[in-house]
Chains A and B, each alone.
Chain A
Amino acid sequence: MRRVTHIAVAATAAATLALTAAGCGDSSSTSGSGGSEGGKDGGKGAALAFDIGGRGDQSFNDAAYAGLERAKKELGDKGKYFEPTEGESDADKVQRLSELARAGHNPVIGVGFVYSKAISEVSKKYPKTTFGIVDDAEAKGKNVANMLFHEEQASYLAGVAAATTSKSKTVGFVGGVETTLIKKFEAGYVQGVKDTDPKVKVVKKYLTQPPDFSGFAKPDLGKEAAGGQLDQKADVIYHAAGGAGTGVIEAAAGAGKWAIGVDSDQYQQKTLAKYKDKILTSATKNVSGAVFNLIKSVKDGKPQSGEIRYDLKQGGVALTDTNPAYTKMTDVVKAVDKAKAAIDSGKITVKDKP
């Protein structure tokens, strides 16, 4: 008896859903023809398309957003940003970017390499729109600007700073998600440490594996990993873990050891004010500047295109010196300056793969 009810309920459930769906279709087609078409009111300005876990990662997505905000303030841009839904494919990204270009947004910027395929496809369909992509050189086109960063160079300097600061001769590296991009940070850092003092040991840990990107978002994972490295006697820990890095900084500072920040100057971040004395320095990556530059170039009528490389020499990546405790350690500063000069002059080439 019970089973019959089950099936009856299920079947009728299905039927009702069908009916309601059909009902929706009816009413909308009549109202749709007269009503406004979604997204076509031509809200000009830049458009940022994020990846999953985009805005609010306290890392490079937020930096891109900051670039947009700055453009809004200084250039009066009416830009918007868009986030994806979980489980979507390239087709959704193509549709989203097409929609943005069609609505008149310019430039349209994909934040992160996942937009590569979509940008190369859509940029051909909308040759008058400038497209930007961060961290990818695969998507090519006359109207595509590839914003690339030499993270490994700043990470090299972080390695030099860590190796010269360390007393225990052990330093740590915490990567958020084990992606090719984060491995660039690791490669530069390890090379910097080893070039400074081959005897210094580097302990490494990645928080998660793709496609699990929570390693950029969960501070507890960072805290745990840093705790493990502190137990292994690491006394300077560099993180490239986005939002999860706050846990690394918390753990290191809590133990009275040094942390090295990433992406933006974390010494000046309000949320980390409690630990800032122990944030030795930060390896910055000026995504916000890159996004701003692209928007500005479009506004000025001279849109950027092709590969735009942000390196140590022109300041696209850098190592900060805002912490007075850092500038007081003159030997460390001297070693870092020397390494920077060597990279700038091309005497040292930093590897981008471990």
Chain B
Amino acid sequence: MKRFDKERLLLGFAGPALALLVAILLSAVVLLASGKNPIEPFRLMIDYAQNVDIQVLIINQWGTYYLAALAVAIGFRMNLFNIGVDGQYRFAAMVSALVGAKIALPGPLHIFVIVITAMFVGAFWAGIAGILKTTRGVSEVVSTIMLNSIATGLIAWLTLPAQFGVQPEGSNNLTTGMIPESGWFPGLKVNDLAGDIYGFVFVAAGLGIVYWFVLNRTRFGFDLRATGASESAAAASGVDAKRMVLTSMLISGAVAGLAGMPVLLGETHTYSQSFPVGVGFTGITIALLGRNNPVGIALAALLIAFLDKASTALDYEGYPKEIATIMQGLIVISVVVSYETVRRYGLRRQQSRVGEELAAAAKNNREEVSV
């Protein structure tokens, strides 16, 4: 990208713009087909997102989604499909919540221990899939899906009162006990109504910069991208591919472990049956949409968080809020299709232009020769 190419930039813009436009149009068609006003829902959602409390919700959700998507993206860059982000995230949140509730340390240290535990547990859970892949050639897609289920069972067992679970008086919920206040991550107070922006959201943003730096400015990042592009070529140039698989799986898992931290440290201070689920899968959508680019992921996470939170407005006005879910699906499909379409179009243009140049050059040559 040293050479500034206007046409390429334009084509780059075309991909996501086309995708978003198609997604909105298709959603409007769905609304029309179900006999609803096709434009009103979008206006309602945008209006609703003007409220400060909704904006805080969007930003907080963004933090969780961003971390989950980064975890997925690290795998993607390596050609690894870590579907287990959800299990790693839940297991890490549960164990770190438990550890946090059991210990008492001065403020920053307490938080540090919880965060490190979460990273370690996430990495451990993903590492199982990594080891299975490097030693036995088990596809990480299969093993991580299975590990998701195993994590569910393990968490359910560990949070039983017979093990480590705590059942609050009068409640039907099971928790891991409350983390003492020294283990709460301070947030940024907006106002009484809207509540806090979780402090960990800023950590998430910082991690995006780290992700960019490691991937693009370090030897390790180069090795990772090289192995992702072609394992055999990377091996030929001296990269230990197996080691790279395991390392990136561990890092992906550690980041997945962090995804639970904004909510755990900023809001619930305990892991319970009402802890958010499905975050890892949304992370896959976001990583795809953001094309594994830290800025792209940030914007994609913002878009998805916006659709999630603003869609509440539809319920109040009698529109089915599932429109937002349909739109998320449509965005993913149109993104994949439009990126590919734009890429092919660009390739064809490039080929024909090169062809023309060659033809012109050949013509010039002939003319020179004839003269």
Q: Is the CB of B174 within 8 A of A29?
A: no
Tell which of A13, A18, A89 touches B15, judged by Cβ atoms closer than 8 Å: A13
| CA A272 to CA B298, docked complex, whole Å | 49
Interface: B8 (CB within 8 A): yes
Using CB atoms, name the residue of chain B closest to A27. Answer: B46
Smallest beta-carbon distance A294→chain B, Å: 18
Among A134-142, A191-199, A311-319, A336-344, the stretch that binds chain B is A134-142
Interface string of A87-126 (1 = CB under 8 A from B): 1111110111011000100000000011011000000000
Q: Does A77 contact B (CB under 8 A)?
A: no
In angstroms, Cα B74 to Cα A7, docked, is 15
Q: Which of B173, B324, B346 has the most CB of A within 10 A?
A: B173
* B170 contacts A92, C-beta separation under 8 Å: no
B20 partner residues in chain A, CB cutoff 8 A: 16-17, 20
Minimum CB–CB distance from B97 to chain A (whole Å) comes to 13
A7 to B292, CA, bound (A): 9
Q: A7 CA to B77 CA in the complex, in Å?
A: 12
Cβ contacts under 8 Å, A349 to chain B: none
Among B31-39, B120-128, B270-278, B355-363, the stretch in contact with A: B270-278
Chain B residues with CB under 8 Å of A38's CB are 44, 47-48, 51, 313, 316-317
Report yes or no: A209 in contact with B172, Cβ–Cβ below 8 A. no
Interface size range on B against A: 35 or more
Is B17 a contact of A137 with CB atoms below 8 Å? Answer: no
| A3: interface (CB < 8 Å) | yes
- Chain B CB within 10 Å — which of A9, A32, A113 has the most? A9
State whether the Cβ of B69 lies closer than 8 Å to any Cβ in chain A: no
Residues A16 and B13 in contact, CB atoms below 8 Å apart: yes
Say how far B81's CB is from chain A's closest CB, in angstroms: 18
B1 and A14 contact, CB distance less than 8 A: no
B309 touches A92 (CB 8 A): yes
The number of A-B residue pairs with CB atoms under 8 Å apart is: 206
Question: A28 to B46, Cβ gap below 8 A?
Answer: yes
Interface class of chain B by DSSP: helix
Query: Would B11 and A9 count as touching, CB distance under 8 A?
Result: yes
A91 to B64, CA, bound (A): 13
Tell yes or no: B54 within 8 A of A by CB. Answer: yes
**Distance A18 CA – B17 CA, assembled complex (angstroms):** 11
Contact A10 B267 (CB under 8 A): no
CB distance from B222 to the nearest CB of A (A): 12
**Please, which residue of chain A has its CB at the minimum distance from the CB of B169?**
A138
Q: Does A181 lie at the interface of the complex (its beta carbon under 8 Å from any beta carbon of B)?
A: yes
Q: Can you add 9 more A-B contacts, CB < 8 Å, to A32-B46, A180-B173?
A: A5-B343, A7-B293, A12-B16, A28-B49, A37-B47, A37-B51, A38-B44, A82-B315, A210-B273
A-B contact pairs, 27 of them (CB 8 A): A3-B229, A6-B291, A9-B291, A9-B339, A9-B343, A10-B291, A10-B293, A11-B1, A13-B13, A14-B293, A14-B295, A16-B13, A16-B15, A16-B17, A20-B17, A20-B20, A38-B47, A38-B317, A86-B277, A96-B312, A138-B168, A179-B172, A179-B174, A179-B273, A180-B172, A211-B152, A212-B152
